[in-house]
Each structure stands twice: as C-alpha cells, then as structure tokens.
Amino acid sequence: MVKKAGVLGATGSVGQRFILLLSQHPDFEIHALGASSRSAGKSYKDAVNWKQTDILPQSVHNIQVQECKPEGNFKDCDVVFSGLDSDVAGEVEKAFVEAGLAVISNAKNYRREKDVPLVVPIVNPEHLDIVESKVKKAKAEGKNTGYLICISNCSTAGLVAPLKPLVDKFGPIDALTATTLQAISGAGFSPGVSGMDILDNIVPYISGEEDKLEWETKKILGSINKERSEIVNIPEDDMKVSAQCNRVPVIDGHTECISLRFKNRPAPSVDEVKKVLSDYVCEASKLGCHSAPKQTIHVLEQQDRPQPRLDRERDNGYGVSVGRIREDSLLDFKMVVLSHNTIIGAAGSGILIAEILNAKGLI
C-alpha cells in the first residue's frame, strides 16, 4: 500500500529535494506540505522559490502549504520528513511526535539524544532497532506511538560511509582527520550563500560543522545497548576525530579529504582496503529497498577522481565515491570521499530510512 508522506520545511533546500524524490516514488505519495507562515495558505508553486535543475513536478503545483502543526493533512500521514530550520525544528518536531507521528528529521536539535537514533541508512540501520522496540512495546499495550529519527549532518554521512566497512573488517580506527570542501546547497536557501561570498572564493568556516563531524561519527559508529533503548557512543579517548570544514563554489556534492589510522597492527594493505570498500553491500540493498544503491561505495581508480560534477549522481545520489586511496606518511591511509549532500546527506537518507521502516512494517 502506498504510504502518505508529509514534508515540513518543504520550500527549502532539503525540502525541495524531498519533493523531487517523493514525487517519483512508488511507495510514498505527498499528502501534506508545511513551511513558515510566509508560505502557509499558498499553493506550493506560488510559495516555493524553486532552485532545482529538474522541473517542479506538476503533481505538487496545487498542494496548499500548511503551517507546521500536526493538524489538517499532517494528521493522517504515515511518515513526516522534516527539512526545517533548526531554529524552529525543536518544538515543531516534538509536537508531531507527541501527536503520534513518525518523524524523520534533518535538523540538529535531537541528534545527541541517546534514545534518538542518528542514522545514515547505508551505514547504521541497525540503530533503528530502538524505534522497532518502542513501536512493538506500544503495540503490545494496545497503543500507538510517535517517534523521531535523526539524519546526520550532510558531511558526516559521506565520511562514515567508507569508515563502517573498514571498522567492521579491520577493527577500530583510533585517529581520523577530515578536511571538507562543501557545496553551497548545504547552506540552505534562506538566505543561502551570497554570490559575492562564494564566487572566486573559498570560505574556511561553516558554523558548528566541525563539531558535528567530530561527535556524530562516534554516535553513528557506536553500538546499541542490550535493552535496545539507547545508543552508546564510541568513547572520546578511543577515537580521535579532527575536522576542518570549508565552503567551496560547487552547487551539490561534498568532497572530503580524509586520513585514518587503525588501532590494530599490522595495518591492512591498500588493496585490502579497496576490496573491503568495493565489496560492501548495505543492509537497505539486501532488503531490496527501492532507493538503495546498487553499489554502496564506488572505488575510483582514476587519479583525478572523485569530482563533484562527474560523480555526485552515482546510484542516483545514494552511492558514495571514494578515490585516491593510498598510504599516508603520518597515519595509515588517506583517501578522497564524495557524497551528494542533499540526497545521501539529507532528503535521500530520510527516504531510504522510511523505505527500511516500511520493509520492517514500522510505518
């Protein structure tokens, strides 16, 4: 059965990507759209300042944008995706969960909560067990429960994708550095990055971003407790992560130059690292989810790849590209990672999480 989907923050950078992905999706139909009071009451086509290269889908032109309240069409959504600004996401998402709705959020507000899974669906879908046990417990008591799942920061999503299969195979990583080159769509559309700031330029600061990369990695690669109620982060002392984040004049696609060291000796060879990355099949692919990448990690051998314009659309933006894998003179290895920030780094992750929940009968 096709599930009814709502989108909060539907007019923004992430919201527009949700519209594009949902409008072509066989398992979901757009049922409710929400944004600020500036947009509420207008048809979507009049409310939105559409900035995607794909044409605004005809099917959403005349959907009326609502206030972000768990009322009206939102009330009977099977799943609600949030692309809300963090200034407002906290209260709005809380109200939706309290109203019994399943909310998948891109905002940072609840990512640190131990009982809220922080999920990159091609990396740690097992953290969704928290939601599964909550839903099953409520059902056993004859109740319905709302819940919240957070999607990671866009640059964290690309970073953890290659780390997961490496840690699974070779054991813990104890030191990691990441220098990011992040696209302007990651800064949102209201107001977004001005042309004067970014043309012919690089901005070596993104507010709060380095901290997110450093701690989110430890939660996403962390474990779930035996009661399946909380995530246990990798302890600070076990894994040192150092990030530097830059905004660059690219529209979509975050590039990250990373170096890492394994705890165990001897370290694997470059060929072993490449093989583990190429062989990795994410859980969503095994479940046969519609949007799951055919190849989760694309290992590129050309010396000048990955590049955002050429590689960001691999597997429709759900695949992650890794190139220039080589030994590092300070740590063990270095490599360049590229991921689509509004697909696997945001809206696409939300949709793939919903597909996993749907496959498990949780929505």
Applying CB under 6 A, the residues found at the interface with ligand NAP are: 9-15, 35-36, 38-39, 68, 83-86, 88-89, 106-108, 153-154, 185-186, 188-190, 341-342, 345-346
Query: In the complex, what is the shortest distance from the CB of residue 184 to ligand NAP, in angstroms, rounded to a whole number?
Result: 9
Is 342 or 358 the residue whose CB approaches ligand NAP more closely? 342
Which residues have a Cβ under 8 Å from the Cβ of 266 and sit 6 or more positions away? none
Copy the structure tokens of residue 218.
């430890």
Query: In the complex, what is the shortest distance from the CB of residue 247 to ligand NAP, in angstroms, rounded to a whole number?
Result: 12
In contact, 348 and 25? CB cutoff 8 Å: no
Is 95 or 281 the residue whose CB approaches ligand NAP more closely? 95
What is the C-alpha radius of gyration for the chain, rounded to an integer number of angstroms? Answer: 20
Report CA-CA distances (Å) from 217 to 52, 120, 163, 241.
30, 10, 9, 8
Of 339, 173, 177, 363, nearest to 255 by C-alpha is 339
Of 125, 181, 116, nearest to 336 by C-alpha is 181
Residue 334 pairs in a beta bridge with 259, 326
The pairing of strands 333-339 and 254-262 is antiparallel
Is 86 or 144 the residue whose CB approaches ligand NAP more closely? 86
Type of residue numbered 60 = V
The pairing of strands 147-151 and 173-182 is unpaired
CA–CA separation, 106 vs 83, rounded Å?
5
Query: In the complex, what is the shortest distance from the CB of residue 350 to ligand NAP, in angstroms, rounded to a whole number?
Result: 10
Query: In the complex, what is the shortest distance from the CB of residue 95 to ligand NAP, in angstroms, rounded to a whole number?
Result: 12
The pairing of strands 320-327 and 79-82 is unpaired
What's the gap between Cα 333 and its chain centre?
A: 25
CA–CA separation, 86 vs 214, rounded Å?
19
Question: One of 154, 245, 282, 289 is an active-site residue; which one?
Answer: 154
Is 130 or 193 the residue whose CB approaches ligand NAP more closely? 193
* Mutual angle of helices 209-220 and 154-170, in 10-degree steps: 40
Query: In the complex, what is the shortest distance from the CB of residue 115 to ligand NAP, in angstroms, rounded to a whole number?
Result: 20
Residue the block writes with tokens 């559409």? 50
Question: One of 25, 31, 127, 254 is an active-site residue; which one?
Answer: 254
CA–CA separation, 7 vs 15, rounded Å?
7
Residue 289 designated active-site: no
Query: In the complex, what is the shortest distance from the CB of residue 327 to ligand NAP, in angstroms, rounded to a whole number?
Result: 32
Report CA-CA distances (Å) from 109 to 17, 94, 122.
21, 10, 22
Of 138, 132, 6, 23, nearest to 75 by C-alpha is 6
Query: In the complex, what is the shortest distance from the CB of residue 142 to ligand NAP, in angstroms, rounded to a whole number?
Result: 34
Is 39 or 124 the residue whose CB approaches ligand NAP more closely? 39
Residue 68 designated active-site: no
Is 154 or 356 the residue whose CB approaches ligand NAP more closely? 154
Is 111 or 259 the residue whose CB approaches ligand NAP more closely? 111
Catalytic positions are: 154, 254
